[in-house]
């Protein structure tokens, strides 16, 4: 039997709500036929966005939503998405689907979505194909008080007199790749060229995030952080990307491939630690924190309901939910280093929380993980320790937080075939006799929600007797609250 120790006096840090953030890009079916159905659609909608999806997203307290990319941002002209006459443009990321960018969803529509779901906005600024003045104008249009500038007047004419609230701005995206194939040194020069206009007075309400590394490309991290150290107060976040790829078929995987996928996901812990060590080595830890604004599984195309009609759409199973549970526990336990994370993406793309097409819209197993974990947002993460937990294939992933006098423990049994008996021990507090709990568990490791069976995977509520050992079933995700 394993023991889980909760060390109440040892607080790791505050869990920024933004760690539970999301990502929406103009790619594949994320917006068109995903989030956006249009104001005149027969499908119930709120200002053009799917009503069912928006309401379910709001229910999990989404703290922040990133837009318009991703790589789409590096080809985006914000002026295409305002006003009445919007041009249709080629969209490299939708060509395979035979689609062009209609620009039906632009700045105003996206901010309507954020307001509807209760999320803050995180804009990714194009630094690859436009000059700094272009982004300064976008910020002027969005943020200048009513009537104070020509662009603020244009915003009012387009239906929004008051400024938008957009606290987070990414200075470029994947500039080591499709964002210009830059060297670290050239990116740093571009960062400061844009940053000096984007936030010259260092308004504390505006947070600028620099382009971080891809996976374990630490040479980029060293070069960029070294350059940013000269004026580190101008940057608030180092925005890394890590996709844990795939292992075997997205749906018909083996037990060995289940474990391999989780091992790949667990590398997030190493990536966070090593990038943080680089930040500390350059003495920038006071100003620059980690942001993981793209993360998740990346399986081969074609397993989702569109069968490959939407770029990067994939089915989502219990295994993907387990990756999400493991990853969110890692973020919680590094909340002193990580200030934001954004799972990729909301709908119809990669590690989605929703799948949608026409009148159909379902939640995936990963959605329920975010629902079970949502009360970690704004809590204080405390240290935990699980005994006899050295064998990764049969280990428990754990994090715990305290908020408003309540403890939330989230556990993921990573083993595909072994239940775990677990006893709770607390240092500095008393464990009550009973607790409310919620569990995701299915006999079939490959269980998934589909348009034909939308509720195949859903959490179950239960009450636990904490005076006795708890059984954590194989391949299950458990949230305990007391």
Task: Please write the tens of the pLDDT for every residue from 8-41.
Answer: 999 999 999 999 999 999 999 999 999 999 999 9
pLDDT digits (tens, 9 = 90+) for 389-406: 999 999 999 999 999 999
**Coil, helix or strand for 5?**
strand
Number of Cβ within 10 Å of residue 70's Cβ equals: 28
Confidence of residue 97 (pLDDT cuts 50, 70, 90): low
What is the predicted pLDDT for the residue at 259?
Answer: 98
Task: Indicate if the pLDDT at residue 300 is higher than 70.
Answer: yes
Longest dimension (CA), the chain: 68
Percent of the chain exceeding pLDDT 70 equals: 99
Backbone angles phi, psi at 49, to 5 degrees: -100, 140
Which residues are designated catalytic?
Answer: 174, 294
Q: Return the DSSP state at 24.
A: -
Residue 177 has pLDDT above 90, yes or no: yes
Structure tokens at 272: 């966070």
Residue 171 clears pLDDT 60, i.e. is over it:
yes
* Residue 383 backbone dihedrals phi, psi, to 5 degrees: -70, 145
pLDDT of 306? 84
pLDDT category, 310, cuts 50, 70, 90?
A: confident
The answer to whether 237 touches 207, Cβ cutoff 8 Å, is yes
Q: Best-predicted range by mean pLDDT among 68-77, 197-206, 325-334?
A: 325-334
Chain segment 236-248, per-residue pLDDT in tens: 999 999 999 999 9
pLDDT per residue as tens digits for the range 425-455: 999 999 999 999 999 999 999 999 999 999 9
For the chain, what are the domain ranges? 16-378, 384-481
Is 381:333 a contact under the CB 8 Å cutoff? yes
Are β-strands 338-343 and 289-297 bridged in parallel, bridged antiparallel, or unpaired?
parallel
Contacts of 180 (CB under 8 A, 6+ apart): 74, 127, 128, 172, 187, 190
Instruction: Give the chain's mean pLDDT.
Output: 96
User: What is the domain class of 16-378 according to CATH?
Assistant: alpha beta
The β-bridge partners of 402 are 380, 407
DSSP β-bridge partners for residue 434? 465
Residue 95 has pLDDT above 70, yes or no: no
Cβ atoms 65, 54 nearer than 8 A: no
Residue 121, SS3 per DSSP: strand
For the chain, the first-to-last Cα distance in angstroms comes to: 22
pLDDT in tens, 202-246: 889 999 999 999 999 999 999 999 999 988 889 999 999 999 999
Nearest to 23 by CA among 99, 121, 91: 121
Q: Is the pLDDT of residue 5 over 80?
A: yes
Between CA 150 and CA 432 the distance in angstroms is 61
Locate tokens 């662009």: which residue?
Answer: 151
Q: Where are the alpha helices (DSSP H) in 200-242?
A: 218-228
CA-to-CA separations, 221 to 169, 249, 265, 271, 329, in angstroms, rounded: 19, 32, 20, 11, 24
Mean pLDDT of 185-192: 96
Measured distance CA(42)–CA(50) in Å, rounded: 10
**Coil, strand or helix: which one is 402?**
strand
Distance CA(251)–CA(85), nearest Å, equals 44
What is the distance between the alpha carbons of residues 46 and 37, in angstroms, rounded to a whole number?
A: 10
One CATH from 3.40.50.410, 2.60.40.1180, 2.170.120.20, 3.40.50.2300 for 384-481: 2.60.40.1180
């Amino acid at each position: 039997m394993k023991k889980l120790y909760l060390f109440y006096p040892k607080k790791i840090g505050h869990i920024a709500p933004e760690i539970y953030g999301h990502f929406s890009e103009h790619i594949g079916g994320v917006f068109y036929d995903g989030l956006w159905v249009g104001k005149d659609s027969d499908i119930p909608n709120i200002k053009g966005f799917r009503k069912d999806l928006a309401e379910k997203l709001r229910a999990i307290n989404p703290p922040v939503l990133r837009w318009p990319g991703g790589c789409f941002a590096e080809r985006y002209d914000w002026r295409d998405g305002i006003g009445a006459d919007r041009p249709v443009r080629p969209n490299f990321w939708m060509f395979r689907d035979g689609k062009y960018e209609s620009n039906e969803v632009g700045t105003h529509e996206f901010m309507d979505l954020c307001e509807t779901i209760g999320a803050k906005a995180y804009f990714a600024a194009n630094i690859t194909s436009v000059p700094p003045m272009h982004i300064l104008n976008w910020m002027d249009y969005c943020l200048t008080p009513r009537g104070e500038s020509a662009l603020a007047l244009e915003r009012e004419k387009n239906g929004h007199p008051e400024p938008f609230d957009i606290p987070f701005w990414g200075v470029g995206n994947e500039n080591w790749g499709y964002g210009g194939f830059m060297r670290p040194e050239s990116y740093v020069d571009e960062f400061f060229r844009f940053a000096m206009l984007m936030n010259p007075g260092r308004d504390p309400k505006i947070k600028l995030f620099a382009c971080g590394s891809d996976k374990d490309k630490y040479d980029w991290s060293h070069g960029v952080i070294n350059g940013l150290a000269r004026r580190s107060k101008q940057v608030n976040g180092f925005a890394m990307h890590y996709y844990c790829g795939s292992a075997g078929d997205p749906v018909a995987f083996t037990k060995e491939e289940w474990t391999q996928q989780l091992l790949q996901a667990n590398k997030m812990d190493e990536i966070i630690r090593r990038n943080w060590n680089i930040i500390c080595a350059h003495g920038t830890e006071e100003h620059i924190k980690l942001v993981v604004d793209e993360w998740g599984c990346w399986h081969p195309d074609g397993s989702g309901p569109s069968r490959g009609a939407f770029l990067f759409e994939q089915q989502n199973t219990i295994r993907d939910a387990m990756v999400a549970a493991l990853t969110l526990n890692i973020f919680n336990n590094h909340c002193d280093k990580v200030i934001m994370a954004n799972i990729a993406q909301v709908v119809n793309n990669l590690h989605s929380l929703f799948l949608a097409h026409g009148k159909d819209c379902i939640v995936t197993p990963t959605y329920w993980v975010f629902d079970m974990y949502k009360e970690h947002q704004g809590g204080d993460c405390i240290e935990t320790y699980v005994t006899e937990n050295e064998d990764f294939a049969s280990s428990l992933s754990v994090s715990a937080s305290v908020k408003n006098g309540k403890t939330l423990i989230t556990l993921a049994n990573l083993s595909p075939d072994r239940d775990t008996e677990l006893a709770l021990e607390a240092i500095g507090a008393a464990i009550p006799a009973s607790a409310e709990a919620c569990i995701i568990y299915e006999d079939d490791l490959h269980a998934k929600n589909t348009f034909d069976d939308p509720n195949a995977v859903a959490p179950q509520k239960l009450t636990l007797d904490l005076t006795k050992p708890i059984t954590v079933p194989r391949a299950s995700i458990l949230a305990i609250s007391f």
